Structure 1
Amino acid sequence: MHINFTIEDNQKNIGEGLIQVGWFLTDDKASILFEPPYRMRSQSQTKHVKSASRCPAVLQLESRYFVINCPFDFHLRFDRDQSGKPTLINALGDASPVRGNKLRELLTLVNENEWRIPNVPILQLKLPYCFIADEVVYITQLDAFGHYRKHPLPGTIFGGRFPIHIWPRPLMWAFEWHDKSKDLILKRGEPLFYCQFDGFDPSRSVKLVQAEKTPELLQYMEQISGVVNYVNQTFSLFGEVEKVRPKKLVQFGK
């Protein structure tokens, strides 16, 4: 049974406690590689009371972000084949911990005619992380700006912002490769990107809970999956999506 889940219904759900956000992996294959999201917290090597790590403003900012770690080791090089078609080269070769066929399943070079900037390739990494909520909550995916990289990325990542209470979808990591003369190096266990969650009241904190993949949730996701391949403005479908949304998405995992 489905209900018409409207913004007005969501507003009635707003409370004074924590905003509860559920997370789960859409695919259980090799799930041990995908670490649970965790709250951002800078490391301090001093216990001084005036340390920046104890600053209330710093603590407030960091409490708003959750970290997704990179699940794999990648060392990639951009090139073009003899016909000029963009291609990825696994610079680690036989030493790569990720098999070539699996690498092709995980990584996708976006079609060149869809690049936002001419001659700046877009690379996408598929991930199984998905977030849901039972009140109005928007997720913002952004660069791990607080993480120092020994090998700076040769480009920029770009995320997005969408409502997880009506649009549950697995995340992906998208990268624009500006300096193609440099390799792209990602290390397993290092921060890949941050997630920020916003409700109506910015003073309320967020609590992440591992959610159960109920049949109702999976059916709902199946109904909305893939629509990006058929329409240009998927956000225009939110009104229709609300009509088939289950009454409750977040169920605690067993």
Structure 2
Amino acid sequence: MYAPSTRCPIGFCLTDQEGGFAFAPPRTVFSTRDRPLGMRAVQNCPAVNSMERQLVELPAPIGLRLKMTKGPQGGFGLQVVEQGTFVQPDKLKDMLVVEPPARWRHPRKPVIQLRLPFFLVTDEPCTVSQLPPFLGPSIRRWPGTVVAGRWPLTLWPQNLSWAFEWEDPGQELVIKQGEPLCLFLFEFDRPEKRPEMIEAALTPELEEYRQGMQGLHHITDKIEQVWEMARMRRPQRLLVPLDEVENA
């Protein structure tokens, strides 16, 4: 029997307010689609609609043009091409890193990581997968693969990052501001639930809870066990809409 959809709030929160107006909020794929050309167009397929209602895309907050260079001893370095990059060097230094080779999947495929000033939070039973932006044009230009991941969002409102395996270091990586950087697929405890994006407030309770997950990768590799500890310590409510706080 068909069950009507239920909207489940997913909060997004900026962790760095400096320049925050430049960061477009996450948006549902379903809400950004073109109008169907006819009754049998892709947008009228129930299977496509069921998927795209669950998908949320994150627009790239900055524009970047990067080259991967080889050092004298065979190592890799990162060169920022000014024409096509609209971020000040000091700001970019805080956001962009080349991971050490021990963290790569393959010795000839460097991995870079872009730290994002966002996190997601929800009180719903929910697991989220961060995926390549396979519905957008950018992925067809990129010389490599976006690293995907999956975690229990209810327990883990972690800082977001974007990792990229540079499969062809001879090609430039161009990220255009506003184009999809990645997709989020939300899985709930019931199939009729759908994500609804709202701006969240960084309340003292949420900030304190998040402190328990900061820097854990420097301490332990048993993150799944830490998730169980987080389950026991989690307050009942972490997601507070920002407008609820502002209007209080």
2:46 matched to which residue of 1?
56
**Inter-partner Cα distance in structure 2 for 1:130 and 1:65:** 16
1:30 counterpart (19, 29, 32): 19
1:80 counterpart (32, 49, 70): 70
User: Structure 1, unaligned stretches of length 5 or more?
Assistant: 1-15
Does residue 195 of structure 1 match 2:184?
yes
**Inter-partner Cα distance in structure 2 for 1:21 and 1:43:** 20
Does residue 246 of structure 1 match 2:235?
yes
Report how far residue 97 of structure 1 moved. 2.0
- TM-score, normalised via structure 2 length: 0.89
Paired residue secondary structure (2:159): coil
Contact 1:141 1:196 in 2 (8 A): yes
Q: One-letter code of the match for 1:102?
A: K
1:217 matched to which residue of 2?
206
**Correspondence 1:32-181 to 2 at 5 A:** 32-41=21-30, 43-44=33-34, 47-92=37-82, 96-149=85-138, 152-181=141-170
Contact 2:63 2:176 in 1 (8 A): yes
Report how far residue 228 of structure 1 moved. 1.4
- TM-score, normalised via structure 1 length: 0.87
Paired residue secondary structure (2:6): coil
Does residue 237 of structure 1 match 2:229?
no
User: Structure 2, unaligned stretches of length 5 or more?
Assistant: none
Query: Structure 1 residues 179 and 249, CA, compared in 2 at 3 Å: closer, same or farther?
Result: same
**Inter-partner Cα distance in structure 2 for 1:209 and 1:101:** 30
**Inter-partner Cα distance in structure 2 for 1:30 and 1:220:** 25
**Inter-partner Cα distance in structure 1 for 2:53 and 2:44:** 12
Paired residue secondary structure (2:51): helix
Q: Deviations over 1:102-149 (max 9, x none)?
A: 222211100012211111100100002211111321110001101123
Identity %: 28
Report how far residue 83 of structure 1 moved. 4.1
**Inter-partner Cα distance in structure 1 for 2:47 and 2:131:** 20
Report the RMSD for the aligned CA atoms in angstroms.
1.9
Query: Structure 1 residues 175 and 150, CA, compared in 2 at 3 Å: closer, same or farther?
Result: closer
Q: Deviations over 1:136-191 (max 9, x none)?
A: 21110001101123961100001211111111101101000001110001100101
Paired residue secondary structure (1:140): strand
Return structure 1 stretches of 4+ with deviation > 4 angstroms.
none
Number of matched pairs:
238
Contact 1:23 1:130 in 2 (8 A): yes
Q: One-letter code of the match for 1:64?
A: Q
